[in-house]
Every structure is written in C-alpha cells, then in structure tokens.
Amino acid sequence: MSVELANKIAEIRADFPVLETQVHGKPLIYLDNAASAQKPLQVTERIKQFSTFEYANVHRGLHHLSNVATEAFEEARGRVAGFLNAENDKQIIFTGGATDAINMVAYGFLEPQIEAGDEIILSVMEHHSNIVPWHFMRERHGAVLKWVGVNQLGELDMQAYEAAFSDKTKFVALSQMSNALGTITPAKQLVDIAHAHGVPILLDGCQGAVHLKNDMQALDCDFYVFSGHKVYGPSGIGVLYGKAERLEAMRPWRGGGEMIREVSVDNVTYGEVPHRFEAGTPPIIEAVGLSAALAYMQNIGFDTIQAHEAALAKHAMEAVGAIDRVTIYGTSPSKGAIVSFSVDGIHPHDLAMVMDRSGVAIRAGNHCAQPLMEHFGVAATARASFAIYNTHEEVEALAASLTKAIEFFG
Ligand SMILES: Cc1ncc(COP(=O)(O)O)c(C=O)c1O
C-alpha cells in the first residue's frame, strides 16, 4: 500500500470515531459493513445541523423553513441522481429502504400486468428482499419463479440465465453484488440479455452502490435500488431509480398526502413522478443524511475506494483461506470485499460470538440468502465484510482472532 493511500485511509478513519472505541476491552474491528456501514462525522454533523436549524416538513411551501427543508430534500434527490448518473432528478424516488423499493416495483410495476403463468427470473444468490416480493406475485397471481443457479465459485450461471427466458418472461430481478458471497455479477450483460428478450430488469444495488461506481445511463437497467445505511448514510431511507418511461407506467403503491393532484369524495388523481410514489411525509432528515454520505464517498472517489477495497479483499481471502479447516464460499475473481466462510466442526454463530470477545465484529447466519445457503449445502456461514475505513492490520487481526477461536473450540 502506498504511503499516500495509507495516509488517506488514516484520514478517513478519523471521520469515524466509533472505530476508536473498544468492545470487551479490545479495539473494535468492525467487519459487518455488508449489513450496515458506520457513518462519518460529515453525515452525523449534517443530520444534527439540519435537524436543529433547518427542519420543517417539505413541499408545503408557505414559510421560509419549509422552503429551506424542501431545498435540502430536493438537493438530496439531485445528489443521488448525480451519484448514479441518472438523466434526471425525477428518476429518483426516496423509499424506506431497498426492500421497500423492490416491493414498490413488484406492486407498482409488475402486479398490474402479471397473469398466471407469467415468469420472473431470479437467481439463487438473491437477498430475501429480492425474493419474497416476487414470491408474493407467485402466491397471489400465479407467477412462476425461474431460478438461475451459481457455479462452485459463486458466479451466476450465464448459460442458465439465457436459457431461462421464454415468451412468458415478464421481469428479471438480480443482484449487482451478492451480500453473502461478494460476487460481482456482469450487470451490463444481464441487462443487455434481458433487453434482447424485451424484458425489463431490476438490479439490486445494495452492495453495488457502496463498492462500485455506477452509471445508470451506461448500465441501462430499468430499475436500480439501494439503501442509505450501507453507503455510510442513515437507516430508514432507500432509493428507487427507474427509467422515466417505466416510472410513468408504474401505479402508485401507497396512497396518502403529497402524492395526489386532487382528491374528491368520489375520485383521486395523482401527482407527478417522483412525488406520486412518495406518499406521506418522506424520510426528510434521512435524505439529507444520505446526501452527505454520497458527497463523502464522491469526495474520496471510487478509484480510491475500489483500489483499497480490492487490496483488502485479496489480503482477507489469502489470510482467511490459509487457516486450517476453513472453507470460503464465493471465490470468483470478480468479487468485492466480502469473505464468507465456515470452519469444519464449528458453528458460525459460535465463531462470531468468540471472535466478538476479541473485538472483531463479523456476521454469522444465512445472510438473508437461504436459497444460496441451500445451494452450498450449509445452514449458515460466517462473513467478514469490509469498508473504505478498514485496514490491512484489521485483516491480520481477523485472521488472528479466527485462529484463536478455532483453537478455543479445539
Ligand atoms: C444485496 C442486498 N439486497 C437487499 C438488502 C436489503 O436491504 P434493506 O434491509 O436495507 O432494505 C440487503 C441488505 O442486507 C442486501 O445486502
């Protein structure tokens, strides 16, 4: 690692005071970033400033403070549009999270057109958030879920993907990067193949948005979703990006204030996109926090983010992979900084609990990806997931803590 990059990472770490804290008397080594990343001071301070001095409800427009808040809220929308290189701010809808955004597409876009026997293509490595809304379409409307498998490296089976299309295919929903394996899927190719069959595609960008530079105009997907809490921002907010014509065709999913043009006792007409999809008071403070988080990432730059995380991933794969009795799940060369593993004879939950005693925070479980666990024939894995503030020393500490835990269980 160059001195320049090391200095940069040290500077970044200073923005995250939680990284200076201790758990069980040991320095915290936070490796549960795929679940939620920590927030830098730039985000928490902006939230405090906005909440203390600039807050009012938005779009009500008759007083100064509401205008200030509305401006900040719409600035956040513009920030997200810029972050994704969307053509227009109106393509950004604020939701309660990625899960909420996927449900919005299932109910707003797909449900009005789905008929019994229509097919939806998914992969076995989707997060439950990108599975269960489609199961609802199966249960309630007789849709058929077509599953694309993964190979032993944890890569999508592209031949199976192509073969999954039929004249009944109505929708494709796939992940850009697996939260359970770290695999980065060939997103552009997935989009192109779907479009060659005339089928719209949603990409789950929950992991992709924080680790990869995205360009919606180049990627050309119909829908893209991500969550604020994984991109160094607050929880309680997510983003749905949609192509303009797709959003225009989408039925409002939730009804309430702010999303209407007119309401009478026997009729209702809807407002414009994106407000049509933001019923009720939106996550105003969260949007402002998200904007600060995206600005923070843009300030670091994806060149730095990707270079540092790739080095961490390589180091972690080698260090964890070298430990006796360890199996790593997800060994594709195309993968981000997530290492999922198991240790022969020790339950991942036990590992995680013992490692926590040495300050190392990892996740253990099915990672909301039960079909994937089934594919690999395991009930759970342990997972270390990295962020821009993690260091190579922390990778070494992870390996040392894992080795110690294995010795402990014998
Ligand atoms: C790939 C992926 N999709 C969807 C989700 C769901 O995100 P949220 O719980 O923020 O709605 C997650 C969160 O872990 C994820 O990693």
pLDDT score of 410 = 83
Q: Which of 299, 316, 334 is the last residue of a domain?
A: 299
- Looking at the structure, do residues 394 and 331 belong to the same domain, yes or no? yes
- Looking at the structure, do residues 55 and 101 belong to the same domain, yes or no? yes
Residue 286: give its domain's CATH number.
Answer: 3.40.640.10
Mutation test residue for ligand 1: of 36, 105, 124, 129, the one with most atoms within 8 Å of CB: 129
Q: Is the CB of 405 under 6 A from ligand 1?
A: no
Residue 337: give its domain's CATH number.
Answer: 3.90.1150.10
- Looking at the structure, do residues 273 and 130 belong to the same domain, yes or no? yes
With 0.95 as the threshold, say if the pTM is over it.
Answer: yes
- Looking at the structure, do residues 289 and 325 belong to the same domain, yes or no? no
Q: Which of 246, 279, 299 is the last residue of a domain?
A: 299
Burial 299-329 (b: 16+ CB within 10 A, else e): ebeeebbbebbebbbebbbebbeeeeebebb
* Structural domain harbouring 309: 3-36+301-409
pLDDT score of 62 = 85
Tell me how far the alpha carbon of residue 183 lies from the centroid of ligand 1, in angstroms.
15
Which residue's CA is the closest to the ligand 1 atom numbered 15? 206
pLDDT score of 241 = 98
Number of domains within the chain: 2
From 58, 101, 364, 368, active-site residue: 368
- Looking at the structure, do residues 330 and 192 belong to the same domain, yes or no? no
- Looking at the structure, do residues 238 and 383 belong to the same domain, yes or no? no
Q: Is the CB of 204 under 6 A from ligand 1?
A: yes
Assess whether 206 carries a catalytic annotation.
no
- Looking at the structure, do residues 237 and 276 belong to the same domain, yes or no? yes
Q: Is the CB of 206 under 6 A from ligand 1?
A: yes
- Looking at the structure, do residues 324 and 209 belong to the same domain, yes or no? no
Token look-up 């939950």 returns: 349
Q: What is the DSSP track for 182-236?
A: -BBP-HHHHHHHHHHTT--EEEE-TTHHHHS---HHHH--SEEEEEGGGTTS-SS
CA distance 322 to 320: 5
- Looking at the structure, do residues 14 and 73 belong to the same domain, yes or no? no
410 residues of the chain, pLDDT tens digit each: 789 999 999 999 999 999 999 999 999 999 999 999 999 999 999 999 999 999 999 987 789 999 999 999 999 999 999 999 999 999 999 999 999 999 999 999 999 999 999 999 999 999 999 999 999 999 999 999 999 999 999 999 999 999 999 999 999 999 999 999 999 999 999 999 999 999 999 999 999 999 999 999 999 999 999 999 999 999 999 999 999 999 999 999 999 988 999 999 999 999 999 999 999 999 999 999 999 999 999 999 999 999 999 999 999 999 999 999 999 999 999 999 999 999 999 999 999 999 999 999 999 999 999 999 999 999 999 999 999 999 999 999 999 999 999 999 98
Which residue's CA is the closest to the ligand 1 atom numbered 12? 206
Give the tokens for residue 121. 């293509």
Q: Which of 241, 272, 299 is the last residue of a domain?
A: 299
Tell me how far the alpha carbon of residue 175 lies from the centroid of ligand 1, in angstroms.
10
Beta carbons within 8 Å of 68's beta carbon, 6+ residues apart:
54, 56
